[in-house]
């Protein structure tokens, strides 16, 4: 006869038994979610747990959703990174991925799998759950969450010590990763090396743009100013809190096309190791849609809105009558409210960058400090910028070429963009061929400019004579 002495003698053995049971239940639920109607699943679950009730007095299950209301759940993101370090050979199903710049293959969990972790004397079991929502046989969204099982008496220690440990470890792991993410609201997939495909406002790929401040063709004084401003910004968390300002910084990059605005943004992201969120305003149809998109961005990120002068609703109000009526409900006030209104406090250590080719067409309300704190003019190539380009493309020895000084003089007297210079520097592997071709190109531009100036002066004289 079964007696008391035959029963398990410790909570540990009971936990092990229940963990095994919960794992099986989780796998069954994952398999049936996409195969059976929700009503049938609910009925089967009710019957199963009626006959085999879980020992709720011994086990606590915490659900960690991907989202907290409008915002990303930092604990979910931290767990996603942390659990990649806990992959072990006993797992029979994993996701593997590698991008060109990764040194090794990255492994991550798939739905239905579990990972056992130990923190001090607590045994914890993680499960990854992904549920697809369908409408008329079309997958609309896949919602993901983690389920964490542990002994009920350890709840306080898990919340107060284990979770802070995971958040700190995730921060350290991310700091070691030299590649940020490039996120787009029009991208429907996510970088699988970060723990799995996720649907939502933003999809992402690894940002592997090679631009750095060392390779950037920029005036040395301007480059130093930008680096110093970035360094000062990331170190002033307590200062921003003390003066009552949201921890954010706004930049306006303006100048002719081809002057390096996109390359500067890439260099800033690589320098800070911040993720980039590329927001296309043509995909935003209302102020609410804009707010939802921006609230989905993470801390330590750069929000980029390129060619803001091309957005009808954000044009300078003096020019409104020149444009057709707006097709969306996105307004200037909606943009301003998120940049420096009450919603701007939702998130820390964020940089907002606007680019434009025509600064004069922007509404003055967008340009004031607090919205666009730093205005950076990126103009035509100078002789100092040419030195950086020539050294990057041809090597330091190019400065001794017989045509080098002549080219510097030509560049300073005509309007030529860094992009045009770079294109000429790529036309051959022979230094002499490249330098001579560049010199001839610049001489031709100088001749065309002189002819244009003479034609303009002639027309002005003719008009003056007619009066």
Give me the pLDDT at residue 422, please: 92
Last residue of a domain, one of 377, 411, 440: 377
- Read off the CATH number of the domain in which 260 is found: 3.40.50.300
283 shares a domain with 173:
no
Q: What is the pTM of this model?
A: 0.70
Residue 391 φ then ψ, to 5°:
-65, -40
* Highest mean pLDDT: which range of 166-180, 370-384, 448-462: 370-384
DSSP 388-457: HHHHHHH-GGGGGSTTHHHHHHHHHHS---HHHHHHHHTS-S-HHHHHHHHHHHHHHHHHHHHHHHHHHH
Task: Assess whether 365 and 398 both reside in one domain.
Answer: no
Do residue 291 and residue 408 come from a single domain? Answer: no
> Which pLDDT value is given to residue 226?
96
* 148 in the same domain as 97: yes
Query: Lowest-pLDDT range, 30-34, 82-86, 431-435?
Result: 30-34
Please check whether residue 196 lies inside any domain of the structure: no
Q: How far apart are the first and last CA of the chain?
A: 122
Number of domains making up the chain: 4
Using 50, 70 and 90 to split pLDDT, how confident is the model at 70?
Answer: low
Looking at the domain assignment, is residue 194 inside a domain?
Answer: no
User: Are 138 and 262 within one domain?
Assistant: no
Average pLDDT, the chain: 79
71 falls within a domain:
yes
Domain boundary among 360, 377, 394: 377
332 and 406, same domain (yes or no): no
| Residue 343 within any structural domain of the chain | yes
Q: Tell me the C-alpha distance between 314 and 365, whole Å.
A: 10
Q: What is the DSSP letter of 114?
A: E
pLDDT band at 196 (very low <50, low <70, confident <90, very high): very low
Same domain assignment for residues 438 and 410 = yes
Residue 108 lies in a domain: yes
Tell me if 77 is assigned to some domain: yes
Domain assignment present for 254? yes
Residues 230 and 349 in one domain: yes
Candidates 415, 424, 407; CA nearest to 381 is: 415
Same domain, 226 and 349: yes
Q: Are residues 215 and 320 in the same domain?
A: yes
Short-list 423, 153, 400, 185, CA closest to 297? 185
As a whole number of angstroms, the distance between CA 244 and CA 342 comes to: 12
Task: State yes or no: pLDDT of 384 exceeds 80.
Answer: yes
Q: How do residues 13-41 score in pLDDT, each as one tens digit?
A: 655 666 566 666 666 666 655 566 655 66
Give the tens place of pLDDT for each residue, 309-365: 776 455 444 544 444 445 557 777 777 777 776 666 677 889 999 999 988 888 888
Q: Which domain holds residue 165?
A: 59-177
My answer on whether 38 and 158 are in the same domain is: no
Phi first, then psi, for residue 53 (nearest 5°) are -65, 140
Point out the least confidently predicted range of 15-29, 77-91, 156-170, 185-199: 185-199
Q: Which residue has the higher pLDDT, 281 or 214?
A: 214
> Do 305 and 454 sit in the same domain of this protein?
no
Return the ∠ at Cα 184 (arms to 183 and 186), rounded to 5°.
150
């Amino acid at each position: 006869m079964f007696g008391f002495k035959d029963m398990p003698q410790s909570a540990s053995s009971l936990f092990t038994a229940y963990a095994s049971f919960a794992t099986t239940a989780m796998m069954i639920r994952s398999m049936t979610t996409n195969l059976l109607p929700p009503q049938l699943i609910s009925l089967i679950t009710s019957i199963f747990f009626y006959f085999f009730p879980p020992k709720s007095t011994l086990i606590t299950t915490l659900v960690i959703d991907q989202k907290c209301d409008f915002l990303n759940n930092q604990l979910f993101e931290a767990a996603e990174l942390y659990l990649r370090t806990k992959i072990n050979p006993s797992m029979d199903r994993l996701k593997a991925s590698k991008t060109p710049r990764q040194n090794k293959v990255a492994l991550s969990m798939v739905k239905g799998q579990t990972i056992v972790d130990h923190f001090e004397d607590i045994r914890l079991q993680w499960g990854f759950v992904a549920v697809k929502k369908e409408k008329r046989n079309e997958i609309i969204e896949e919602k993901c969450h983690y389920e964490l099982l542990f002994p009920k008496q350890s709840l306080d220690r898990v919340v107060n010590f284990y979770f802070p440990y995971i958040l700190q470890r995730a921060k350290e792991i991310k700091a070691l990763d030299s590649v940020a993410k490039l996120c787009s609201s029009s991208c429907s997939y996510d970088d699988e090396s970060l723990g799995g495909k996720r649907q939502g406002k933003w999809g992402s790929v690894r940002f592997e743009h090679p631009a750095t401040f060392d390779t950037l063709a920029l005036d040395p004084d301007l480059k130093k100013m930008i680096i110093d401003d970035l360094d000062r910004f990331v170190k002033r968390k307590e200062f921003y809190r003390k003066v009552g300002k949201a921890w954010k910084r706004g930049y306006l990059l303006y100048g002719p096309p081809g002057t390096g605005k996109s390359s500067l943004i890439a260099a800033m992201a690589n320098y800070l190791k911040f993720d980039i969120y590329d927001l296309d305003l043509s995909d935003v149809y209302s102020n609410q849609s804009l707010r939802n998109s921006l609230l989905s961005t993470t801390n330590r990120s750069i929000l980029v809105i390129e060619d803001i002068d091309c957005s009808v609703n954000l044009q300078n109000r003096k020019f409104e009558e020149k444009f057709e009526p707006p097709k969306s409900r996105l307004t200037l006030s909606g943009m301003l409210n998120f940049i420096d209104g009450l919603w701007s406090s939702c998130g820390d250590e964020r940089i907002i960058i606007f680019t434009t080719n025509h600064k004069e067409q922007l509404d003055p309300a967008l340009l004031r400090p607090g919205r666009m704190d730093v205005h950076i003019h990126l103009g035509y190539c100078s002789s100092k910028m040419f030195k950086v380009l020539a050294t990057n493309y041809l090597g330091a020895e190019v400065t001794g070429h017989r045509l080098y000084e002549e080219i510097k003089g030509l560049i300073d007297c005509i309007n030529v963009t860094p992009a045009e210079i770079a294109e000429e520097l790529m036309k051959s592997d022979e230094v002499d061929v490249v330098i001579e071709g560049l010199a001839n190109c610049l001489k031709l531009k100088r001749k065309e400019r002189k002819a244009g100036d003479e034609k303009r002066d002639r027309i002005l004289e003719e008009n003056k004579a007619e009066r």
